[in-house]
Structure 1
Amino acid sequence: MLKASLILLSLLPAAAQAVDVGRFKESSGAPPAPWRLQTLNDKLAPTHYALRDWDGVNAIEAKAKASMALMARPLSVDLAKTPVLCWRWRVDAPLKNADLRTKEGDDYAARVYITFKIKPEALDFATRAKLRIGRAIFGDQLPDAAINYVWDNRYPVGTREPSAYTDRVRLIVARSGAADAGHWVDERHDVLADATQAFGPDIAAARQLAVASDTDNTGEEAHAGFADLHFVARDAPCVF
């Protein structure tokens, strides 16, 4: 019996090796450590985050009202082994006036944000200078590079653009419009492939994962949820 069980275990798909980074047992209260609120500007009202049971899914709920803050956690995932990020999210509605190509419209009902460390020798002088200036303004939390998967209001899924603020942050439209609003939808994205396409092959490590509802530029309101964030191998299914 034991031998048969071991054989069956050996035949299980690689999905069993999923690296959980945001799967919550709790259904109330603040998101547990290592998740923490990260504000980018002390003058801005922060988006409110809390755990809730939302249609049977334990999730981070985000409520934004002319506000901005990240709910973030450090990452130590091996992207060579598990480069694919899976998650569930939902929004009540996309924003009305956002436009990712402008600073005035740089808001999103929901976004998932991954930062990266780039190998130092791969950063040219101009990039190092930009990062040094940026960190003097925004602090050491400014990453070498970052990918934002966004639920957009106007551009089609698959759109890729640099941030209106910095080309060290790239935006990828993962979901767009209101067709899927009001219920949970699943996402699957190859983070390493997307980062390599945006910044080249010298990705040293993924450093931070964050979720956010962001409405400080447009002054709008947003209501979103995030759940079941985990990394898997390219040949493994997501585990929902």
Structure 2
Amino acid sequence: MKTRLSPIALLLFSILAWSGEVPPPFSSLPPGQALPKEFRIVTLPKIARNNFSLVADEGKTVLRVDSDNSAGSLDIPLTAPASDAAGGGKAVLEWRWKVNRMLDKADMEDKLDDDHSARVYVFFDVPLESLSFADRSKIKLARLVAGVEVPTAALCYVWDNKYRIGYKTWSPYTHRLRKIVLQSGPAHVGQWMTESRDVYADFRDAFGFDAPAVTSIAVGNDSDNTNERVTTWFGDISFRK
């Protein structure tokens, strides 16, 4: 039976805005050790949790995320200033990722099959008072239920199974989350792929105004809707100044 996630659950899954310390790069950590306190695992209520571990791969320590009919993200407290404060410049986010397979039944535009082999969230500090009354009400309710801050806008870079590279769409749950396909299909399964994105430009394209501050990054995968399994690896993730 498929898991039906509500918009509130999706927002809970994307919780950030916590006072975290600057995280060490994965490659600086010994494989097998517990994740340092600078990272935080974010889960969904009543959904099995992904397994997160530090492992060695090609001589470097990387993050491994195993999803088995489960979901979850690792919140990474990486920040960037508002784009206008940076003189309208760039905020280039760089990372490496790898997957062991595609999710056969996933469809990121369908609530019932909205799963991802790999995804990277970027969260922005959009002022709540700048949103419509309806959006403000939804976010206030989500924050009341969660007991913590919930983001007002986010980008989600995905490794998809069917939509073409460069395809952009809103989350089927909320138009406060823009998805962008960076890798698609099985051509590069099992290979490390390197990504570089100007998140300011992607935010402006999605929301129509200059990007506010980046408050956090989150990486992970999910297979709870499709009842499948997938393993994803993430190398170091950072902003290039």
Question: If the TM-score is normalised by the length of the shorter chain, which range does it land in?
Answer: 0.7 to 0.9
> Residue by residue, what CA displacement relative to the aligned partner does 1:204-237 show, whole Å, maximum 9, x if unpaired?
211111111111111110001001211114xxxx
- Corresponding residue number in structure 2 for 1:36: 40
1:84 equivalent to 2:96? Answer no
Tell me by how many angstroms 1:59 deviates: 0.7
Give me the whole-angstrom Cα distance separating, in 1, the residues matched to 2:152 and 2:27: 29
Name the counterpart of 1:64: 67
- RMSD over aligned Cα, in angstroms? 2.0
| Comparing 179-188 and 71-80, the one that deviates more | 71-80
**What SS does the corresponding residue of 1:203 show, helix, strand or coil?**
coil
Give 2:223's aligned residue: 215
Match of 2:56 in 1: 53
Counterpart-to-counterpart distance in 1, 2:151 and 2:218: 13
**Percent identity for Structure 1 against Structure 2:** 37
Cα pair 2:50 2:71 within 8 Å, conserved? yes
Aligned CA distance change for structure 1 residues 218 and 37 (closer, same or farther; 3 Å): same
AA at the equivalent of 1:35: F
> Comparing both structures, which one devotes a greater share of its residues to strand?
1
Q: Distance in 1 between matches of 2:198 and 2:69?
A: 31
Instruction: Work out which of the residue numbers 157, 182, 197 in structure 2 matches 1:189.
Output: 197
Query: What's the offset of the Cα at 1:29?
Result: 2.0
Q: Note if contact 1:117-1:207 (Cα within 8 Å) is conserved in structure 2.
A: yes
Is contact 1:119–1:203 with CA below 8 Å preserved after alignment? no
Query: Secondary structure, in 3 states, of the residue corresponding to 1:154?
Result: coil
Distance in 2, matches of 1:189 and 1:23, equals 20
| Unaligned runs of at least 5 residues, structure 2 | 1-21
Deviation at 1:23, TM superposition (A): 4.0
- Aligned residue identity for 2:40: R
Q: Aligned pair count? A: 214
Query: Quick check: 1:111–1:148 contact (8 Å CA) kept in 2?
Result: yes
In structure 2, which of residues 136, 140, 152 is the aligned counterpart of residue 132 of structure 1? Answer: 140
Residues 23 and 230, structure 1, Cα contact 8 Å, conserved in 2 = no
Matching residue of 2:165: 157
Normalised TM-score (structure 1): 0.82
Local SS of the residue matching 2:28 = coil
Q: Which runs of 4+ in 1 moved over 6 A?
A: none
CA–CA distance in 2 between the matches of 1:97 and 1:139? 34
CA 1:78/1:177 → structure 2, altered by over 3 Å: closer, same or farther?
same
- The Cα offsets for residues 121-165 of structure 1, whole Å up to 9 and x where unpaired, read as 532323212322333445534310111100000000111111111
